[in-house]
Amino acid sequence: MWLSRQMRPGAAVPGAELGVTSISGGQAGVVTRGEARKLPVYGPGGYVWQPASGGSVLVIKGGTGGEETCVAGAKQAAAPEGFAPGEVFIHAGGGSVYLKNDGTVEVRGGRVKLTGRVDIEGELYINGAPYSPCRC
């Protein structure tokens, strides 16, 4: 009983903190109260994202002393070849949408269904060739 009175609870560890990425990529470095490196990056299912350096991220802390940390979300799939920080790649069931830093939008799928009005500004390429409507 005397021993239980002598033991004091440790300092509370927050369950989540806002941090700033110091190293971009799939295993990020993040500065919160100190810097943590090689943190796994998680995102919603089918969504691949790599935080860019200097960006704000949510860091989730777990374990008994908050020693297990990650950048929040669901475990990501592999990024496409040439994927750069700041780009967005969404995929599911063989279809994908890839938003590139240069403004390019790539939409791929075995079957692409567009409903409603679709406005396209700029050049349209189909299977790598510029689209030219039939003037029949």
Within-domain flag for 43 = yes
The Cα 53–Cα 22 span in angstroms is: 5
pLDDT at 9: 60
Half-sphere exposure of 20 (CA within 13 A, CB side): 4
Report pLDDT digits (tens) over 35-85: 989 998 887 777 888 888 888 888 888 877 777 888 875 557 788 999 999
Q: Beta partners for 62?
A: 68
Within-domain flag for 85 = yes
Within-domain flag for 135 = no
Within-domain flag for 26 = yes
What domain range includes position 63? 2-130
Q: How confident is the model at residue 24 (pLDDT cuts 50, 70, 90)?
A: confident
pLDDT at 31: 92
Within-domain flag for 35 = yes
What is the tally of structural domains in the chain? 1
Within-domain flag for 24 = yes
Within-domain flag for 136 = no
Q: Which residue has the higher pLDDT, 8 or 127?
A: 127
Phi and psi dihedrals of 4, rounded to 5?
A: -65, -30
